[in-house]
C-alpha cells in the first residue's frame, strides 16, 4: 500500500504485493465467525514488471525479484515465497500477527530483514474506485498514493501509487490486521474486505503487477509459516 525511499523502498520490495494477499470465506448467515470460516491453503500469483527506463529490463527484474509467488496462509499469518522464471527460490517473507512483525529473508543470506507493522513512516491516501470483474468474480477497486523520500536523493520527494482489486466472494477479517498500520493497511483492508486478486504498484523505477492465478485449499502447518529464529540469526530492522 504498498513506499520507496531507502527505508520505504526496501519495505515495498520486501513486502511488494504481499500485504493484500489475505484470505477468508464469507461470514455465516447469522454473522458468527470461527477459524473454520476462513480460507486456509496456498495462493499462487504471477508477477510481471514494467520498467520506466533502459536502466532496467523486465527480464532483469523478474530474475532479481521473481515472476511467481506462492503464499501459504493460515489464520491471517502467512509465508510468501518468491520464485525466478527458472524456479529458483529467491526469498521468503513471513507475517507474524502475534509479534506484529513482517520478516524477509533473501536466499543464501544470513541476514533477516524485518519491519514493525505497527509503525507508519509516511501516510498512504486511498479511495475506492469502480468495481470490476476478475477471475469470474466481482472485485472492489482501491487506489492509493504516497509521498516518499530516498536517502540518495535527500532533497527530492517521490510520488508512488497503487491500484488494487479485492474479491467480494472471498472475505478477510479486518480485525486480524487492526495493528497493521504500515502503509495504512489496517484502514485499507476495512474497505477492500477480501482477497486481493490484482495489484498494480507504480514505484519509482518500475511498475509491478501481481495477479492471483490459483487458490488451493489445504491444511497448513503453523510451523511452516513461522520464521525460524535462533541465537545465530542476524536481524536488521528496516
28-86 tens-digit pLDDT:
233 444 554 677 889 999 999 999 998 999 999 999 999 999 999 888 899 999 999 99
Give the list of residues 6+ apart from residue 211 with CB closer than 8 angstroms, or none: 45, 46, 134, 197, 198, 199
CATH number at residue 192: 2.50.20
Sign of CA dihedral 179, 224, 167, 48: positive
Assigned domain for 172 exists: yes
Task: Provide the residue count of the chain.
Answer: 238
pLDDT score recorded for residue 35: 55
Tell me if 111 is assigned to some domain. yes
Percentage of the chain beyond pLDDT 90 is 60
Q: Which residues contact 236 (CB under 8 A, 6 or more apart)?
A: 111, 112, 113, 114
Average pLDDT estimate for 137-149:
92
Number of domains in the chain: 1
State the pLDDT at residue 38.
76
Residue 228 is part of which domain span?
A: 6-26+36-237
Judge whether 83 lies within some domain.
yes
pLDDT of residue 78: 94
Lowest mean pLDDT segment, chosen from 3-7, 124-128, 180-184: 3-7
CB 99 within 8 A of CB 114: no
- Does some domain include residue 31? no
Q: Is the pLDDT of residue 213 over 70?
A: yes
In a domain, 208, yes or no: yes
What pLDDT, on the 0 to 100 scale, is given for residue 171?
83
Phi, psi of 204 (to 5 degrees): -80, -35
Asked if residue 213 is part of any domain, the answer here is yes
Q: Is the confidence at residue 25, as pLDDT, over 80?
A: no
Strand ranges, E, within 135-171: 137-150, 153-171
Q: Is residue 1 part of a domain?
A: no
Mean pLDDT of 110-137: 93
Displacement of CA 108 from its chain's centroid (Å)? 22
pLDDT(230) > 80: yes
Strand, coil or helix: 77:
strand
Separation of alpha carbons 51 and 31, rounded Å: 45
Residue 226 has pLDDT above 60, yes or no: yes
Amino acid at each position: 500500500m504498498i513506499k520507496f525511499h531507502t527505508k520505504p523502498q526496501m519495505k515495498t520490495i520486501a513486502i511488494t504485493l504481499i500485504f493484500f494477499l489475505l484470505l477468508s470465506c464469507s461470514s455465516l448467515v447469522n454473522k458468527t465467525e470461527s477459524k473454520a470460516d476462513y480460507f486456509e491453503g496456498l495462493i499462487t500469483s504471477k508477477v510481471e514488471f514494467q520498467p520506466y527506463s533502459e536502466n532496467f529490463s523486465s527480464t532483469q527484474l523478474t530474475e532479481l525479484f521473481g515472476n511467481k509467488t506462492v503464499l501459504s496462509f493460515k489464520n491471517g499469518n502467512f509465508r510468501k515465497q518468491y520464485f525466478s522464471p527458472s524456479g529458483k527460490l529467491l526469498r521468503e517473507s513471513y507475517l507474524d500477527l502475534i509479534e506484529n512483525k513482517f520478516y524477509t529473508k533473501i536466499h543464501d543470506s544470513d541476514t533477516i530483514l524485518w519491519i514493525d507493522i505497527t509503525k507508519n513512516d509516511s501516510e498512504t491516501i486511498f479511495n475506492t474506485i469502480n468495481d470490476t470483474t476478475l477471475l469470474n468474480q466481482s472485485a472492489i477497486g482501491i487506489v492509493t498514493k504516497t509521498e516518499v523520500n530516498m536517502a540518495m536523493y535527500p532533497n527530492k520527494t517521490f510520488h508512488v501509487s497503487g491500484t488494487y482489486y479485492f474479491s467480494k466472494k472471498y472475505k478477510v477479517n479486518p480485525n486480524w490486521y487492526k495493528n497493521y498500520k504500515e502503509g495504512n493497511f489496517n484502514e485499507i483492508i476495512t474497505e477492500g474486505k477480501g482477497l486481493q486478486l490484482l495489484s498494480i504498484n507504480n514505484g519509482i523505477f518500475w511498475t509491478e503487477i501481481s495477479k492471483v492465478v490459483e487458490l488451493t485449499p489445504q491444511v497448513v502447518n503453523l510451523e511452516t509459516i513461522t520464521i525460524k529464529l535462533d541465537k545465530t540469526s542476524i536481524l536488521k530492522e528496516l
